[in-house]
A and B are shown apart, each in its own frame.
Chain A
Amino acid sequence: MDDLDRSLARKARSGNRRALASLYERYRSRVFGYLVKEMRDRGTAEDVFQEVWMKVMQGIGSYDAARGPFRAWLFRVAANAAVDRQRRDAVRLGDELDAPVENGEGRRVDLLPSDGPDPERLSASHEAGVALGRRLGKLEARQRTAVLLRHQQGLAYAEIAHAMAIPEGTAKTLVHRGVAALRRAMSARERLS
C-alpha cells in the first residue's frame, strides 16, 4: 500500500491529475468515514470532506515522502480541517444535540435517540454503536482524533504522531485514555440495561 501511495503521490506532486484521482479513489471512503465520526454531523462532514480534498490538491506539492507515508499526511490534512471547522463553529454541535430542546409546546425533548432499549428501531449492536458515538463525541478533542486514527483507521503510532504533530508517546497516552473512557462508558451502560 505504501509503495503504491508513494508512487501516486510523487506523480501527483508533479501535476499528474490521474494520480491524484487514484489517491482520491483509494482514500475517499476512509476520509469520509473518519470525518463523520470526528464531526458527528453528516452535513458538516460533507463540507469538511470537500475542503480536505481541495487542500490536498493545493498542498500535495509540499508532501514529503521522507517524512512519512501519504496516508499520515492525508489524515493530518483531514484532522487539521476538522479542528479548523470546529473552531469556526465555536459551539460544539455534539453539545447542542445532546442538550434537550424546547419542542414549541413547552416540553423538552432529546434530539438524539435515548440510550434506553428500543427493540423496534434498533438492533443491539446498532444501539451500542449509537451510545459509543455519543461518548466518543464527549472525549477531549485530541483523544477523539487519536482514538479514531488508531482504532477506526488503523494508523500506526508513528503515523498518528505525524498526523497530529505530536510525539509518539503522547499519541499512545491519548489513545489509552480515550479507549479507557469509552470502555468505562460501555460498561456503565451494560450495568444499567
Chain B
Amino acid sequence: MTTSCDQARQALALGLDESVESHLRECAACRLEAARIGQVVRSLAESAEVAPPAALDARVRRNLAASPPSAQPLPSLVTASGLAIAAYASIVCGVGIWLASSGFAETAPPLMAAIAVSYLAACAAASLPLLIKRTRPAPAELQEVRS
C-alpha cells in the first residue's frame, strides 16, 4: 500500500515520521511540510525541561521530606468496614422491628433490650470511620499550599 500525501502529513503531525520515510524521499511537497512541522515540534521540545526556581524547588523538597508519602489508600478500607457495620445495624434493626410488630417484645423484654443495645452499638461503630476521616488533620504542606 502506498502512502498518500494526506496520510504522510497526518503521520508527521502525530510525530510518527519514521512510518512515512519512504514517501518523503519521493515527495518534495511533503518534505517541505515535514520541515515546517519539524520547526513547530522542535520549538515545543526546546521547552521540555525548565528548572523550577530555587526557592520553589527547596520548598517542595522540604514538603516531600516532611511527610511520608501516603501508602495504600486508607479511605477505601475505612469505608468498607463502615459499610459492613452499617449493613449489620440495618439487619439488627429490621429483626427488631419485625419482632416488635409480631408482639414478641411483650413476652421477651430482655431479648428486645439486647437487640436495642446491639443496634445502638453498631450505629456508633458505623459512624466511627466518618469521625476518623473528619478529624484527620490536613498535612501541614497542604495547608501551606492553601495559604
Contacts and interface: CB of A to CB of B under 8 A. Distances in A.
A129 B46 contact: yes
B51 A32 contact: yes
Contacts, number: 133
A17 interface: yes
Contacts of A187: 36
Contacts of A151: 15, 40-41, 44-45
Interface string A76-94: 0000000000000000000
Given A176-B13, A183-B37, A62 B43 contact: no
B66 to A, nearest CB: 9
Interface string B118-136: 0000000000000000000
A152 B145 contact: no
Contact of B60 (A50, A58, A60, A154): A50
A33 B48 contact: yes
Interface of B: 10, 13-15, 36-37, 39-41, 43-53, 56-57, 59-61, 63-65, 67-73, 139, 141-142, 145
Interface of A: 12-17, 20-21, 24, 28-30, 32-34, 36-37, 46, 49-51, 53-54, 56-62, 125, 128-129, 132, 136, 147-148, 150-154, 157, 172, 175-176, 179-180, 182-183, 186-187
